[in-house]
Amino acid sequence: MTVATAQGGTAEAGAVRSADLVIAGGGSVGLSTALAVRRADPRARVVLVDARPAPAARKALSDERALAIAAAARRMLTRLGAWHRVEHLAQPVTQMIVTDSKLRDTVRPVFLTFAGDVEPGEPFVYMVPAGALTDAIEAAAIEAGVEILSGDTVADFAADSAGVTVRLGSGGRIRAPLLVAADGVRSRLRGLAGIGVVRSDYRQTAIVVTVAHERPHEGCAVEHFLPNGPFAILPLTGNRSSLVWTERTEEAGRLMAMEDFTFEVEMERRFGHHLGALSLAGPRRAHPLGITLARRFIAGRFALIGDAAHGMHPIAGQGLNMGFRDVAALAEVIVDARRLGLDPGSADALGRYERWRRFDTVEMGLVTDALNRLFRTDLDPVRFVRDIGLGLVDRLPGLKARFIREAAGIGGTLPRLMRGEAL
């Protein structure tokens, strides 16, 4: 049995071959890790195992979700040669408006506004189609010489003091110093590595859908905090926006079962009329919400990145951006170790990665969890206090600037790629 690679090669079943890095998971985070290591170290043999079919066979599976790409992640993608491939589809967010109201309220007072630039001419976030972003990173990775095994999986692995042996679903085996799992929030490899998780179900579901509207949004994003969860209106190119509509799971099920006209009526109640007539411009998708934090990010010759390490509420739009921070930190650790002639899969190297990322991740997880719980509370005294808090932030330019820098991903100790610097 053979498995086609993205470069036209094959992996022979039963053969044991060597690599310098194996990555499981062909989403944006896994591909970015492979690309970052290979761009910095062209001699590194990087193999990415992607359960998805080869690009030519997956057009029907295109992901039309919109993703928030923070300024720091955009700097990294620019440095890696991927951003220019998707920039024409990216919509900069020029302003963010936050409201807090009940659904029946006729007036939704604005409590907080943010200007959109972290530096002159540099928006704090862009909205980008998910499928196009993954395709752009994949094209850059193939160009850089990453070997992609499409339509294959990591069946299991065994680590020892000298390396890790990865067995593929196709039957092939690869020997490498390090295996990186980027296989999502329900990571199977995380379980095989014996890493437990802290998990909580929010009993909420995010309905994600693209809508067309009559008037231009002018790059303005709106976050309505409603009792059942936030209703985010995120600008896309043209007269379109992406909705991330959070509801209690039971209510979300009722909404998803509606035919389009009735769904649009419910959507308009929450969206408002400021952009004119609305219509659905894509399919509806429902995503159950919760928080999942891995108890450890590393094991013997094994590391977790992205959603495999942490899944959190989209209330702050930081899920993928936290994954990109993982990418930048882990790639820096791997490349630095190789340049010094050290073992990138050693406990010392991986310990540096875990120390760098785990506190930041837990902190963000706790922040998003607290925000979700705070804004789900519909008691009038709580609403009064939080609205005063939002109003105070709006009147403190220094604090607002700090929030924008955090949302842009440029606060704290950043890896080199997050600063737009080469590894």
Name the residue with higher pLDDT: 90 or 390: 90
Q: What's residue 58's pLDDT?
A: 59
Judged by DSSP in three states, 370 sits in helix
- Please state, rounded to an integer, the average pLDDT across all residues of the chain: 89
Task: State yes or no: pLDDT of 187 exceeds 80.
Answer: yes
Of 155, 164, 157, nearest to 345 (Cα)? 164
Domain 2-80+129-198+290-393+415-419, CATH homologous superfamily name and number: FAD/NAD(P)-binding domain (3.50.50.60)
pLDDT at residue 57, as a whole number: 60
Q: Would the CATH topology of 2-80+129-198+290-393+415-419 be identical to that of 91-126+202-289?
A: no
Report the pLDDT value the prediction gives residue 62, as an integer from 0 to 100.
59
Determine the residue type at 359. Answer: F
Report, as an integer, the average pLDDT of 127-148: 96
Beta strand ranges found along 249-378 (DSSP E) = 278-280, 285-294, 298-299, 302-304, 310-311
At 142 the pLDDT is 97
Mean pLDDT, residues 401-409: 80
Site of tokens 């980008």 = 128
Mean pLDDT of 158-164: 97
pLDDT score, position 68: 93
Which one-letter amino acid corresponds to residue 193?
Answer: A
Average pLDDT over residues 195-200: 96
218-244: burial string, b at 16+ Cβ within 10 Å, e else: ebbbbbbbbebbbbbbbbbeebbbbbb
The better pLDDT of the pair 289, 104 is held by 289
pLDDT tens readout for residues 352-398: 999 999 999 988 888 888 888 777 777 777 777 777 777 777 777 77
Task: Give pLDDT, residue 6.
Answer: 42
Strand-pair partners of 112 = 98
pTM above 0.85, yes or no: yes
Q: Give the lowest-confidence range in 95-109, 203-217, 218-232, 242-256.
A: 95-109
How much is the pLDDT for 103?
74
At 3 the pLDDT is 38
Lowest-confidence region among 23-37, 50-64, 118-132, 335-349: 50-64
Q: Which of 44-48, 226-230, 267-271 has the lowest mean pLDDT?
A: 226-230
pLDDT of amino acid 207: 96
Least confident of 54-63, 162-171, 203-212: 54-63
Would you state the pLDDT for residue 56? Answer: 62
Query: Residue 247 pLDDT > 70, yes or no?
Result: yes
* Backbone φ/ψ region at 44: left (φ over 0), alpha (ψ -120 to 50), beta: beta
The mean pLDDT of 395-403, rounded to a whole number, is 74
14: left (phi over 0), alpha (psi -120 to 50) or beta: left
> What number is the average pLDDT over the span 322-332?
97
Q: Name the residue with tokens 């390090």.
A: 178
For 148, list phi and psi in degrees, rounded to 5: -115, 120
Check whether domain 91-126+202-289 has CATH 3.30.9.10, yes or no: yes
What does the domain layout of the chain look like in residue ranges? Answer: 2-80+129-198+290-393+415-419, 91-126+202-289
pLDDT at 65: 82
